[in-house]
């Protein structure tokens, strides 16, 4: 089976517990106002890869991996491929000597996820559901707006995330990455952070040709 992927990155240090692999799916039918990841909205078929490639990429990360974060885009917009990805990741991590948790983001409400995507939730350790609401930004740790929850789903999820459910975000931590053609940020910026970053880069003689959060 094939799945649309915007990018993958390792290590991710700002979207969940510890050192993580990050997987961003391509395509989002929700389209929250103020979203900073608009480059992930278009369901571009040219971004399709085999699910097994994504699993192999995660499995090839260094042995100090603590988890995998799956965001987007909207992972649940590709329900069959996403379920196959979760099955592959669960089969891989079952053979590891250290715990690796699976955390997913979704713009759908927890009620909708429970009603329509119970099989997916059963394969995750934690989920951050709910649309980004610009008027309620910023949210708690790892969340863009205050309506978004962090929901542990398994014993490992509770062990790692119970203490984070109501933890304030604190100072913004962003990572920058590049795929050779574009520079991207990783993390959850507070209002004004990306404009401040753009201004800081401009002072060093660097300018964006385009910025997806303004597109």
DSSP string, 43-66: --GGGEEEHHHHHHHHHTS-TT--
Percent of the chain at pLDDT above 90?
84
**pLDDT recorded at residue 208:** 75
Residue that wins the pLDDT comparison between 208 and 148 = 148
Residue that wins the pLDDT comparison between 44 and 182 = 44
Looking at the predicted structure, is the pLDDT value of residue 88 above 70?
Answer: yes
**pLDDT recorded at residue 214:** 62
Q: How many residues does the chain have?
A: 215
CA 197 to chain centre: 21
| Average pLDDT score over the chain | 95
Q: Which two tokens stand for residue 116?
A: 């329509």
Instruction: For residues 185 and 163, give the distance between their C-alpha atoms in angstroms, rounded to a whole number.
Output: 26
What are the extents of the domains in the chain? 2-170
Mean pLDDT value across residues 38-53: 98
The pTM assigned to this predicted structure is 0.95
Cβ atoms of 21 and 61 closer than 8 Å: yes
């Amino acid at each position: 089976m094939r799945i649309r992927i915007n990018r993958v990155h390792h290590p991710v240090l700002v979207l969940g517990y510890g050192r993580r692999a990050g997987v961003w799916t391509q395509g989002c039918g929700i389209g929250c106002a103020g979203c900073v990841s608009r480059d992930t909205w278009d369901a571009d078929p040219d971004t399709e890869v085999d699910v097994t490639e994504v699993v192999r990429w995660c499995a090839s990360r260094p042995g100090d991996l603590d988890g995998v974060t799956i965001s987007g885009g909207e992972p649940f917009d590709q329900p069959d491929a996403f379920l196959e990805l979760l099955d592959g990741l669960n089969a891989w991590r079952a053979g590891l000597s250290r715990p690796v948790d699976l955390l997913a983001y979704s713009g759908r409400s927890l009620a909708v996820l429970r009603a329509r995507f119970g099989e997916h939730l059963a394969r995750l350790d934690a989920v951050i559901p709910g649309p980004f609401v610009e008027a309620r930004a910023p949210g708690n740790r790892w969340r863009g707006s205050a309506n978004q929850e962090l929901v542990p789903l398994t014993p490992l999820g509770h062990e790692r995330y119970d203490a984070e459910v109501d933890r304030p975000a604190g100072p913004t931590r962003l990572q920058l990455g590049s795929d050779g053609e574009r520079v991207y940020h990783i993390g959850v910026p507070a209002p004004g952070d990306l404009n401040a970053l753009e201004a800081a880069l401009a002072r060093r003689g660097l300018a964006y040709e385009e910025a997806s959060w303004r597109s």
